[in-house]
């Protein structure tokens, strides 16, 4: 790693004033428990995968862009929040995808045709190509997160010329950073020399784009449900948006070791269900974690807690529909209180446990091992 690049990244984020205030606060017991689970899992695979994403960020090309990103400090561009999350939340769910790929690889073990992979040595139960795939998965996820930070820029939204130029500049940097990471991932994917694996991962990248067209959006690009989404609609959208990459990567990891198709499919289903469980857990936080999500803070109005409530509350659906052009005008504190007063939260928790249970069932198709146990510990945290 280039230590100068690391210093540049740290200086970049430490410049983001109010975005880093939370770093001075103590960690909750839940966060400490999660960190312990991840640390135990990293010991199983042999090295700290929390820094896979940082390795991508510490390239010379990205560090050259860092100087330009610092110009965005004080502008409020979302790219700064994304950068902070990627660098500081080293053991958050943002950085677990590569770790899951390594754990499912070790859970499955060496393939039945290991002698055909003499040029792909195994270390700590995981092959070199599987480790490369884990890094590719992290890189693609990071690129997607950065691209999602692009804001809708128009003179109507930003009448002040200086603010307009700041947002436009931030978008250019976000696109460049994301494109560079996607290109790097594609190059690394080609070095695996496996067409089937390349097809699976590129399909997941295509799914990112398709997911953006599953909802109507307001002038800021925020998703809004005008007719009332069902749980099936939510699952379809979030499979494309978050679960496809992990599902395809888990399956690809087993393909690299020539495992039988039955196990490949179980790995796919495991990746899909654990990703959806994490997504549900994340969407519950605005309603359950007041410290990180104080009442009144905006949240996704197409999240599962909201959707499960809206199916029995047409009045709230009509209220949200009145502000479909600009969701900034929604009283999020009011919406939160209404959702908390209904049964949507409990229904959402049940769905989270359902996805978690399906993940465990998939793991039961594999032999018992430290890696298998580590994955189940990650699921138990939900």
DSSP 173-202: HHHHHHHHHHHHHHHHHHHT--HHHHHHHH
pLDDT confidence tier of residue 262, bands split at 50, 70 and 90 = very high
Helix, strand, or coil (residue 209): helix
The pLDDT assigned to 28 comes to 60
- CB of 362 closer than 8 Å to CB of 266: yes
- CB of 52 closer than 8 Å to CB of 135: yes
Q: Mind listing the pLDDT tens digit for each residue in 293-320?
A: 999 999 999 999 999 999 999 999 999 9
Helix axis angle for 128-147 and 78-88, nearest 10°, is 150
The pLDDT assigned to 121 comes to 82
Q: Mind listing the pLDDT tens digit for each residue in 55-99?
A: 665 666 666 666 666 767 767 777 777 777 766 554 555 568 999
How high is the mean pLDDT of the chain?
84
Is the predicted pLDDT of residue 283 greater than 50, yes or no?
yes
Of the candidates 151, 185, 241, 149, the one whose C-alpha atom is nearest the C-alpha of residue 53 is: 185
Q: Mind listing the pLDDT tens digit for each residue in 134-178?
A: 999 999 998 998 898 888 777 667 777 777 888 888 888 889 888
> Could you give all domains of the chain from N- to C-terminal order, each with its CATH number?
36-111+121-381 (1.10.600.10)
Is the predicted pLDDT of residue 241 greater than 90, yes or no?
yes
The pLDDT assigned to 81 comes to 75
The pLDDT assigned to 367 comes to 93
The pLDDT assigned to 80 comes to 74
Length of the chain: 382
pLDDT confidence tier of residue 8, bands split at 50, 70 and 90 = very low
For residues 345-355, average pLDDT? 97
The pLDDT assigned to 343 comes to 94
At a CB cut-off of 8 Å and minimum separation 6, what does 5 contact? 57, 58, 59, 60, 62, 63, 66
The pLDDT assigned to 86 comes to 67
């Amino acid at each position: 790693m280039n230590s100068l690049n690391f210093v540049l990244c740290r200086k970049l984020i430490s410049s983001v004033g109010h975005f880093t205030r939370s770093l001075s606060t103590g960690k909750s017991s839940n966060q400490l428990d999660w960190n312990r689970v991840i640390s135990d899992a990293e010991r199983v695979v042999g090295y700290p995968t929390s820094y896979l994403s940082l390795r991508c960020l510490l390239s010379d090309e990205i560090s050259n862009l860092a100087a330009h990103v610092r110009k965005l400090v004080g502008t409020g561009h979302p790219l700064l929040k994304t950068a902070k999350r990627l660098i500081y939340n080293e053991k958050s769910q943002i950085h677990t995808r590569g770790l899951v790929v390594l754990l499912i690889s070790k859970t499955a073990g060496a393939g039945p045709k290991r002698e055909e992979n003499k040029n792909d040595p195994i270390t700590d139960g995981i092959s070199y190509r599987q480790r490369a795939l884990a890094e590719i998965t992290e890189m693609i996820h990071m690129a997607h997160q950065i691209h999602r930070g692009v804001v809708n820029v128009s003179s109507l939204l930003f009448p002040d010329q200086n603010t307009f130029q700041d947002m436009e500049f931030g978008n250019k940097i976000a696109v460049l950073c994301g494109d560079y990471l996607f290109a790097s991932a594609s190059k690394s994917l080609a070095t695996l020399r496996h067409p089937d694996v390349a097809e699976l991962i590129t399909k997941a990248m295509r799914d990112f784009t398709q997911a953006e067209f599953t909802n109507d959006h307001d002038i800021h690009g925020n998703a809004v449900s005008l007719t009332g989404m069902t749980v099936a609609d939510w699952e379809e959208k979030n499979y494309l948006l978050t679960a496809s990459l992990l599902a395809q990567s888990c399956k690809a990891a087993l393909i690299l070791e020539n495992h039988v198709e039955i196990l490949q499919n179980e790995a796919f289903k495991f990746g899909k269900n654990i990703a959806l469980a994490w997504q549900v857990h994340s969407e519950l936080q605005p309603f359950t974690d007041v410290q990180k999500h104080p009442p009144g803070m905006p949240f996704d109005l197409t999240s599962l807690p909201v959707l499960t409530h809206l199916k029995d509350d047409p009045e709230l659906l009509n209220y949200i529909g009145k502000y479909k052009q600009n969701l900034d005008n929604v009283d999020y504190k009011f919406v939160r209180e209404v959702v908390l007063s209904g049964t949507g939260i409990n229904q959402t928790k049940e769905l989270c446990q359902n996805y978690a249970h399906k993940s465990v069932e998939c793991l039961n198709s594999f032999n018992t091992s430290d890696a298998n146990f580590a994955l189940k510990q990650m699921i138990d945290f939900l």
